[in-house]
Amino acid sequence: MKTVTLAVVSILCILMMTASPVLAADTIKVGAILAVTGPASFLGAPEAKTLQMMTEEINKKGGIMGKKIDLIIKDSGASPEKALSFAKQLIEEDKVLAIIGPSTSGETMKIKNVAEEGKTILLSCAAAEVIVNPVAKYVFKTPQNDSFAVIKIFDQMKKMKISKIGVLSSNTGFGQAGKAQIEKMAPQHGLQIVANEVYDKAATDLTAEVTKVKASGAQAIVNWSIEPAQAIVIKNARQIGFKGPIFQSHGFGNIRYVQAAGPAADGVIFPAGRLLVANELPKSNKQKAVLMAYKKDYERRFKEDASTFGGHAYDAMLILTKAIEKAHSTNEEAVRNAIENLKGVVGTGGIFNFSPQDHNGLSIDSFEMLTVKKGKFVPLGK
């Protein structure tokens, strides 16, 4: 308990250091709404740390076009209501150029209309495809699309000759969006959903749900969530004797989920960006230099493994700085237009190519299929 308390205090200190008062006109005000504490802190905490690190590095080098970044981080605790209140505050009172985050899909969907109405750039760190489909003028996101994740999982299932699946999902925006994509695409890939269970995001025991999946005759489990409950799915499934493969969404990309599940996590299969296996990429890979630099800087500073979630915040700040430089302006409309036309931006999640029709900018090739082996992430097949 003492360790948790110290960690929370440390993160709150980061917020106090980065949330500065209104500064002079030679600054660029950037807001961030992140789940630093609460059930989605595995997402928001590394995102906040990443933004703090990047802001300090940018400002140390003189800022962007001579203007330093004034970063204002708000801890939503993964509450859509808090996110909405903070979004209004950042737009109306702080008058930020852009908002990075929120961490979760439910929060993002809650505030996207506020960003649109306020003509404020929103660079979400959440994954649900509905955030950018249909396209909203000022709303972008950095994680890969959930439909791409589903296709990668289904392609792997085909190789493994799986035809019957049990689906588990949390009652969150991310869980609901993933569930909808799975239900939509399963028939197209020759898959039958024989069990389909939704659980509370704060669940601490999912024995009843995985027991139903096992009884259904499912050959494999697909779980779609971002909360610590995804580790409980794995543990409970193995405890009741489920022998089939367990697939997770791209929301599994933090080694802490593996640690929480323990030995039961070995063999879990999931799609993710290449950050988690950066060391194993060939030198010719276009992302390797960026991935290794971010991983090295983050881990040296914070003494913990870098995660794909921190990477989403890294990409959001990278995209924003590239757009400001391209527009050579801090005018919201000019920067927004610049983001929409950025091409070939090498980030942690992939290589971004935005367009008026695509406010995510990543292709299905940004995903790699990974598995857990002896408590570590490795490319599937190695």
pLDDT digits (tens, 9 = 90+) for 264-300: 999 999 999 999 999 999 999 999 999 999 999 999 9
d(CA 344, CA 283): 18
pLDDT band at 13 (very low <50, low <70, confident <90, very high): low
229 inside domain = yes
Mean pLDDT of the chain: 93
Q: Are residues 314 and 181 in the same domain?
A: no
CATH of the domain at 45: 3.40.50.2300
Residue 352 phi, psi dihedral angles, 5° rounding: -85, 130
Residue 78, φ and ψ in degrees, nearest 5: 70, 15
Establish if 95 belongs to a structural domain: yes
User: Do 264 and 164 share a structural domain?
Assistant: yes
Q: Which of 222, 291, 278 is nearest to 250 (CA)?
A: 222
For residues 45 and 96, membership in a common domain is answered with yes
How much is the pLDDT for 56?
A: 98
Confidence band of 24 (pLDDT split at 50, 70, 90):
very low
Is pLDDT larger for residue 7 or for residue 320?
Answer: 320
- 208/317 same-domain check: no
325-345 tens-digit pLDDT: 999 999 999 999 999 999 999
Check pLDDT > 90 for residue 10: no
pTM of full prediction above 0.85: yes
195, β-bridge pairs:
166
From the list 232, 167, 238, the residue with the least C-alpha distance to 205 is 232
pLDDT digit string (tens) for 85-109?
Answer: 999 999 999 999 999 999 999 999 9
- What pLDDT is recorded for position 16? 47
Q: Please classify residue 349 by burial: count the beta carbons closer than 10 Å to its beta carbon, then call 0-12 exposed, 13-18 middle and 19+ buried.
A: buried
Q: What is the pLDDT of residues 125-171, one digit of tens each?
A: 999 999 999 999 999 999 999 999 999 999 999 999 999 999 999 99
Looking at the fold, whether 219 and 234 belong to one and the same domain comes out as yes
Into how many domains does the chain fold? 2
Per-residue pLDDT averaged across 110-119, rounded?
97
Q: In this predicted structure, what is the pLDDT of residue 227?
A: 86
* Residue 284 resides in a domain: no
The SS3 of residue 199 is strand
Q: Is residue 357 situated within a structural domain?
A: yes
Map residue 260 onto helix, strand or coil.
Answer: helix
Q: Which of 41, 357, 51, 70 is nearest to 226 (CA)?
A: 41
- Neighbouring C-beta atoms of residue 299, cutoff 10 Å: 12
Q: What pLDDT, on a 0 to 100 scale, did the predictor assign at position 19?
A: 43
pLDDT over 50 (residue 58): yes
User: Does residue 374 sit within a domain?
Assistant: no
Per-residue pLDDT, 26? 87
Q: Is 83 a domain residue?
A: yes
Mean pLDDT across 38-45: 92
* pLDDT at residue 12 tops 90: no
* 165 and 110 together in one domain: no
For residue 30, give its domain range: 2-144+290-366
Same-domain status, 161 and 264 = yes
156 & 260 share domain: yes
On whether residue 380 sits in a domain, the answer given is: no
Structure token pair of residue 324: 């400001």
Percent of the chain scored above 70 by pLDDT?
A: 93
Say if residue 28 is in the same domain as residue 101.
yes
